[in-house]
Structure 1
Amino acid sequence: MSTAITEQAVSFIENVRFDDLSAEALRIGRRCMVDTLGVMLAGTSEHAVHILMDDAAEQGGRPDALLLAAGWQRVPAAMAARVLATAGHAHDWDDTQVSHDPAHVYGLLTHPSVPPLTAVLVMAQRLGGVDGRRFMLAFQTGFEVECKISEWMLPRHYRRGHHSSGTVGTFGAAAATAKLLGLKGEQLAHALGIAASFAAGIRASFGTMTKPLHVGRAAENGITAAMLAARGFTADPTVLDGPWGFFSVMGEGFDPAKIAQGFGRQLTIVDPGVSIKPYPSGILTHQSMDAMLKLVLDHDVKADEVKSIRFYAGKNILEPIRYPVAVNHLQAKFSMPALLCMILLKRRASHHEFMDSFVASASMQDLQRRTQVLGDAEIDARGYDLIRSRIEVDTQDGRTLVQWADERYRGGPMNPLSDADLEGKFRMCAEGALDAGAQAKLLEAVQGVESLTSAARLAELMVFDGRQPH
């Protein structure tokens, strides 16, 4: 079957113009930037990011771009991207693609903003002279290519163990970089071909430092792919198509009916949209965490009043959210017992709760061991277009409290975070990195990003030295 998907991607990347972006696309794009820059700053508190910073600083090299959280130190573009994008995904708090397909598996959908935003933030510094309109256009170009590839793939890609934000994210960074570099035709096709061979990330590393590194490598590899293509490096120019193409090899195919959507005819960032995460854990957990919070607050439940907890859900939650008892904060992001118990104990779950000392505490360990995670065939039968679950809490005085998750995901297009809530999340993320005044300057710059004469200004406004005590 001839699909010419790569040809379509090349045509879109080459021909899309700033004027093709609707006012709504620009509005949502700015919101995604606010959110993503915030979670990048929050990620600098993670030991994994410190290791990558030290590695980049030790290797050194061409001073292309600022090394996040290292003051004014500069390193080669791809290395700067590895650190920046890993920080962006370190808390698993970055935004998530939406799909209306009831047959879709949520884990197949990518975290779309970090790879292309990292690419344009780094390349704007390397290239110089990139204004805000070019910056926004390149970001949206990478975002669209990444999301459409993810949407069209068969769920087998995720089910067999690939991590989409690492694999498909590579295309987002490559497309964004290629747009800034002005690659065209065969050279642009080669950039995508190189990116396909670089695409990697397996779910076995969920709950470890390597999970966010998948996204760091996606940004690093996407930039490298486009820059090599610009130098004349070659690859298969039809890499998304055919029996040995990306779709077939990585996911055993794609949905032929979806290909007609095309790239850019309706930008994914607008429809079906993007979710901005209220909690720093896998998106599949958030409705259930909100449900637990509602149950706790409605009934004023205290942890010492709880005898046991039962959590019922379908395979779309139970397969990736896989730790029955989390012993550290990385595992807690993929452990329903840990997340539900966190809400019960603290009545919130911010990155301040995702600390190894708290997750390993006696109260958390005891409650997790009194929490059962159970498959529910009825929930599975309703499909995976929405995230559905039910919580039952048995109290010491003999009551059973029941709460179904609200299918209207808080943070998703049906129930979005307000601008005020988004700013609150940004400021919480930036706390400890930037003072209130610096936070305000960065927010102002993002809100007026299209009018910037130099988009590299955004990176400069993020400068702080995370190696020194705050």
Structure 2
Amino acid sequence: MAIQRNQYAEVPDDSRITAAVATFIEEVTFQQIPTEAVRIGKRCLLDGLGLFVAGSDHETARIVAAMAMEQGGAGDALLLGQGAQRVPLPLAARVLGTAGHAHDWDDSQVSKDPDHVYGLLTHPTIPPLSAALATAQKLAPVSGQDLFLAFMTGFEVECKISEWMFSQHYKRGFHSSATVGTFGAFAAAAKLLDLKGDKLLNGLGLAASFASGIRCNFGTMTKPLHVGRAAENGVTAALLAAKGFTADKSALDGPWGFFAVQGGGVTVAKMEAEGFGAPWSIVDPGVSIKPYPCGVLTHPTIDLMLKLVIENNIKPEEVETVTIFAGSNILNPIRYPIATNHLEAKFSLQAVLSMIVLNRKAGKIEFEDGFVQSEQMQSMQSRMKTSFDPAIEALGFDKMRSRIVISKKDGTLVEGNADVRYRGGPENPLTDEEVTAKVRNCCEGVLSAHEIERLIAVGSSVLELDDASEIARTLQSR
């Protein structure tokens, strides 16, 4: 395959990725989804529902919901967290997406490509699930099976685009869940709207121009809004295309297409070896369901610290200093030395490890401002520092490696290495029971115990639902 080179990118001069995406969206059927992909997809969907509830009373979701009510308009879909209030479809999708990413607890795509630093890979569930759930309400009744097909279609499109793109995309500062998530949301909405042919191509062109989000906003309220906007923009692209709005019909391809402009190009060998649904990315390489509500890059280090603290019965008052050694793949994005609020804490090794020392857990409560800003948290964070480790860097980014050295006040050292397949990933997944327990944890304090169990039951039986709008109704607190 010939490669066209310019000052910006390397792209195949006969690339037809846009057409391949459109064909997949139009032709894929539920029967083509492998049994294992259905099994994992249902887990991701249930996890996503819990995250919608967890984020529904988060400040970011409350603000965008208030703005949606002020804007008003057609009552297409329920406004998350606002009872029976209904708003236009794009606004409903915006609030769902923002809430779903508010706690940074949503699942992460996995790759076997050693060039793919983990941050490049998208959070694949929330953009297409937000778009599908909102669109299904506008078109009601939509069966649960059709909603699930739309969700899985968007999930696959999002992951393949992310997998094929050069890692320059993330290294340049783009947030993949915002940019690539837009295509996942579009694919889900387009599938439910039954777009075909040129309308799909035009919608992809619109999505390519809408895709945006930069990493400087990590640790702020804007990061979850990135995903909310991805859901909103994907839905908007589908609605405009349905009405005949035009765009470039090969907007993923060529020297000025999405891959070239935002990612520097595509990995031709992977494109030639893979296709949409061949294999399904949710199965191979897989997806990680997060045990902790923070950046996945911190998770192996959190597990290591928990192991060291428990096995050595380390008490907070015994800790003199903690040094965390890691490579640039972790230290660059996990960038806050001392977190001053819950948003910064999600991108601070000092903060998440302080939680473990103090409470031996890092869950929803530990990531609230009251805990992060407490005197004990601020003091413990000040005793910790990070250090770049050339030896860890040289091992590459196929694993999220780190090393911890705890210096106790009695002069003893406690050390350990995180060089394992992380908990929650495909090789060490959460059990079904752990996923359900996470959903309960997400919903606690927002839904009643009865409502939580109802949500779990409805989400688990998604394929049997006659009207997928029932899912949206179970998300709303009474």
Q: TM-score, normalised by structure 2?
A: 0.96
1:280 equivalent to 2:293? Answer yes
In structure 2, the partner of 1:93 is 105
Letter in 2 for 1:294: K
Displacement of 1:431 in angstroms is 1.0
Q: Hey, what does 1:403 align to over in structure 2?
A: 416
Moved more, 97-106 or 86-95: 97-106
Question: Is the 8 Å Cα contact of residues 110 and 164 (structure 1) preserved in structure 2?
Answer: yes
1:138 pairs, out of 125, 138, 150, with: 150
**Equivalence for 1:164:** 176
Q: Secondary structure at the match of 1:116?
A: helix
Match of 1:121 among 133, 141, 166: 133
Residue in 2 aligned with 1:197?
209
Distance 2:263 2:283 in 1: 26
Counterpart residue number, 1:468? none
SS in 1 for 2:475: coil
Per-residue CA deviation, residues 178-198 of structure 1 (Å, 9 max, x unaligned), is 111111111101111100100
Q: Which residue of 2 aligns with 1:249?
A: 261
Match of 1:103 in 2: 115
Question: Aligned AA for 1:302?
Answer: K
What are the superposed Cα offsets for residues 332-376 of structure 1, whole Å, 9 maximum, x if unpaired? 000111111111111001011112122122221122122110111
Aligned to 1:384: 397
Question: Do 1:324 and 1:336's aligned partners in 2 also have CA atoms closer than 8 Å?
Answer: yes
Give the counterpart of 1:429 among 430, 442, 445: 442
Q: CA contact under 8 A between 1:14 and 1:179: conserved in structure 2? A: yes
Identity %: 57
1:22 — aligned with what? Answer: 34
Structure 2: distance between partners of 1:7 and 1:243: 16
1:444 aligned onto 2:444: no
Q: 1:262 aligns with which of 275, 289, 310?
A: 275
Asked if structure 1 preserves the Cα contact closer than 8 Å seen for 2:57 and 2:81, the reply is no
2:379 corresponds in structure 1 to 366
Structure 1 match to 2:161: 149
> What is the one-letter code of the residue matched to 2:338?
V
How far residue 16 of structure 1 moved from its aligned partner, in angstroms, is 0.6
1:348 aligned to 2:361? yes
Give the one of 449, 469, 472 matched to 1:456: 469
Q: 1:406 to 1:419 in 2, by over 3 A?
A: farther
Q: Which residue of 1 aligns with 2:51?
A: 39
For 2:227, the aligned partner's letter is V
- Structure 2 residue aligned with 1:222: 234
The residue that corresponds to 1:315 in the other structure is: 328
The one-letter code sitting in structure 1 at the alignment partner of 2:275 is G
Say if 2:189 is the partner of 1:177: yes
SS of 1:148's equivalent in the other structure is helix
Per the TM alignment, residue 129 of structure 1 is displaced from its structure 2 partner at its CA by: 2.1
State the Cα deviation string for residues 190-246 of structure 1 (Å, max 9, x = none): 111100100010011111100000000000000000010000001111011000000
Unaligned runs of 5+ in 1: 466-470
Q: Is the 8 A contact 1:38 1:426 kept in 2?
A: yes
What displacement does 1:45 show? 2.6
Match of 1:71 among 44, 58, 83: 83
* Residue identity opposite 2:298 in structure 1: T
Contact conserved, 1:312 with 1:376, CA < 8 A, in 2?
A: yes
Indicate whether 1:240 and 2:252 are aligned. yes
Q: After alignment, is 80-89 or 397-406 more displaced?
A: 397-406
User: Do the aligned residues in 1 keep the contact of 2:106 with 2:125 (CA within 8 Å)?
Assistant: yes
How far apart in 1 are the matches of 2:144 and 2:54? 24
Contact persistence 2:65–2:95 (CA under 8 A): yes
Answering whether residue 309 of structure 2 is matched by residue 296 of structure 1, we say: yes
Q: What displacement does 1:406 show?
A: 4.5
Amino acid at match of 1:117: L
CA distance in 2, matches of 1:182, 1:314: 46
> What do the CA deviations read for 1:23-57 (whole angstroms, capped 9, x no partner)?
11111111001100101101123111111111111
* Paired position in structure 2 for 1:210: 222
Runs of 4+ in 1 over 6 A off after TM superposition: none
Q: Secondary structure at the match of 1:168?
A: helix
For 2:248 and 2:395, how far apart are their aligned partners in 1? 41
Q: TM-score, normalised by structure 1?
A: 0.98
1:10/1:185 contact within 8 Å kept: yes
Residue of structure 1 in register with 2:3 after alignment: none
User: Aligned runs of 1:409-424 on 2, under 5 Å?
Assistant: 409-424=422-437
Find the residue that maps to 1:311 and give its secondary structure: strand
SS of match in other structure, 1:349: coil
Q: How far apart are the structure 2 equivalents of 1:53 and 1:409?
A: 35
Rounded Cα–Cα distance in structure 1 between residues aligned with 2:77 and 2:453: 23
Contact 1:291/1:406, CA 8 A, preserved across alignment = no
How many angstroms apart in 1 are the aligned matches of 2:436 and 2:310? 25
Q: Deviations over 1:314-345 (max 9, x none)?
A: 11101100011111110000011111111111
Q: What is the rounded CA distance, in whole Å, between the counterparts of 2:419 and 2:291 in structure 1?
A: 14
> What amino acid maps onto 2:221 in structure 1?
M
What secondary structure, in the 3-state scheme, does the structure 2 residue paired with 1:201 have?
A: coil
Count of aligned pairs between the two proteins: 465
Unaligned stretches of 5+ residues in structure 2: 1-12
1:403 shift after superposition: 1.3
**How much does 1:71 deviate?**
0.3
Residue 88 of structure 1: how far off its partner (Å): 0.2
Task: Tell me, in whole angstroms, the C-alpha distance in 2 between the residues paired with 1:132 and 1:81.
Answer: 18
